[in-house]
Amino acid sequence: MNGIKARSYSVEFKQNGFNKLEKLIENNDYSSVFVIVDTNTREHCLPVFKKEMSQPFDFKIISISPGEEFKTIISCQNIWQILSDKGADRKSLIINLGGGVITDMGGFIASTYKRGIDFVNIPTTLLSMVDASIGGKTGIDFGNIKNQIGVITDPILVIIESGFLKTLNLKEYRSGYSEMLKHGLISDKDYWNKLLIFLKKNTLEILPLIYKSIEIKNKIVLKDPFEKNQRKILNFGHTIGHAIESYFIKSDHLEKLSHGEAIAIGMIIEASISVDNCSLNQSDANEIKNVFDSVFSKIKIDILDQNNIISLIKFDKKNSHGNVNFVLLKSIGFPIIDLKVTNSQIKKGFLFYNS
Ligand SMILES: NC(=O)c1ccc[n+]([C@@H]2O[C@H](COP(=O)([O-])OP(=O)(O)OC[C@H]3O[C@@H](n4cnc5c(N)ncnc54)[C@H](O)[C@@H]3O)[C@@H](O)[C@H]2O)c1
Ligand SMILES: [Zn+2]
């Protein structure tokens, strides 16, 4: 499988990726190599990673607790401290082996440590393969707000090994699938339809779909790496989805949602707003709702929670000058950016989701 050329790096698949990593380590003469994992990827993915390398090489493991609640400045401080204590210098390399929490936070740690050291992403969840590990966005959550602090810095290499997915649970698998469906909705109706076939016949291979999703995201990022314009389309479902995700993390009475689950709800609500605000057909909005409803179980969001979520939306990073900007759909495959939406349209969207 051919690699995909990104801005200053490439996304390589399977053995090609690991071969390239070995060459990079050999040619760049790194003073030390650190592998950041969480306890799950340490158990399930680190042994696979070690086996993939043709010869053992010397690296130090930094392990954190798993989960979004650890994507914080405190985790960064701990890891920066370990790097300092272990003598990491500007010629050190960080390898992020994990899901989106590890690639986002590990990328941020590498980009800021000594003003930036090289890092490689080896995503181990479906979501991080098709989304988080590519495109250069790194960062952490701060206060109640997702990804409030961060920088855009590219890794030097991304390696996709779909074999890591064997140990991923269904909840996390679906989370990544949700972002893949988003790729179809924002750019390619044929791909959307292909994903629906995959949903019905789970005998199809996932790797070609992962490849297609990476191609879609990469093409968008190449045109607008710093999200001045068209890259915003990747945020479809996220204006509401991020607020829902943050709200569920912080509320003791609610069960945590996966990122993909939260943005699936966001996409259903934003599809409903698209009917009101753009020209999306009601039948397309219904199709979008039915598809996500078939992937995720229904979450109850009552009026009080809806109001709290709506007030969180104003912290969204996509806002400017106090306005909340939405990405909506004209039709499946055709998004529009920078649209203003009223609170009553959002409430109507919640009604549609709950229906
Ligand atoms: N930078 C971006 O462009 C971008 C895009 C989308 C999402 N994100 C971020 O990604 C994060 C979500 O990523 P995620 O869904 O991968 O979450 P995650 O990193 O928390 O991983 C989910 C869970 O799966 C476990 N896990 C990972 N790989 C495994 C494997 N192979 N086998 C068994 N368990 C495994 C993890 O330990 C964790 O418990 C969010 O913080 C989101 O903001 C970033
Ligand atoms: Zn996302």
| Pocket mutation for ligand 1, best pick of 37, 124, 140, 178 (most atoms within 8 Å of C-beta) | 124
Nearest to 180 by CA among 161, 190, 166, 195: 195
CA geometry: angle 290, 294, 299, nearest 5 deg: 95
pTM of the shown model: 0.94
Q: For the segment 93-123, what is each residue's pLDDT rounded down to a tens digit? A: 999 999 999 999 999 999 999 999 999 999 9
Nearest to 95 by CA among 104, 87, 103: 103
| Pocket mutation for ligand 1, best pick of 36, 75, 101 (most atoms within 8 Å of C-beta) | 101
Residue owning tokens 């191609």: 215
* CATH 3.40.50.1970 residue ranges for the chain: 4-167
Q: For the segment 214-247, what is each residue's pLDDT rounded down to a tens digit? A: 999 999 999 999 999 999 999 999 999 999 998 9
In contact, 268 and 173? CB cutoff 8 Å: no
Q: For the segment 128-187, what is each residue's pLDDT rounded down to a tens digit? A: 999 999 999 999 999 878 889 999 999 999 999 999 999 999 999 999 999 999 999 999
| Pocket mutation for ligand 1, best pick of 46, 48, 70, 128 (most atoms within 8 Å of C-beta) | 128
CA of 279 from ligand 1 middle (Å) equals 34
Per-residue model confidence (pLDDT) at position 300: 87
- Ligand 1: list residues with CB < 6 Å: 38, 40-41, 44-45, 66-68, 71, 98-102, 104, 124-125, 127-128, 131-132, 135, 137, 146-147, 164, 167-168, 172, 175, 258-259
* CATH 1.20.1090.10 residue ranges for the chain: 171-354
> Closest ligand 1 atom to the C-alpha of 104?
1
Per-residue model confidence (pLDDT) at position 199: 84
14 Cα distance to chain centroid:
20
Distance CA 146, CA 72 (A): 10
CA of 97 from ligand 1 middle (Å) equals 10
Q: Which of 1.10.10.10, 1.20.1090.10, 3.40.5.10, 3.30.470.20 would CATH assign to domain 171-354?
A: 1.20.1090.10
Per-residue model confidence (pLDDT) at position 17: 96
Fold (CATH) for 4-167 = Rossmann fold (3.40.50)
CA of 103 from ligand 2 middle (Å) equals 13
**Which residue minimizes the CA distance to atom 10 of ligand 1?**
100
Per-residue model confidence (pLDDT) at position 22: 95
DSSP 320: B
Q: For the segment 67-76, what is each residue's pLDDT rounded down to a tens digit? A: 988 999 999 9
Which ligand places an atom closest to the C-alpha of 146? Answer: 1
**Which residue minimizes the CA distance to atom 20 of ligand 1?**
67
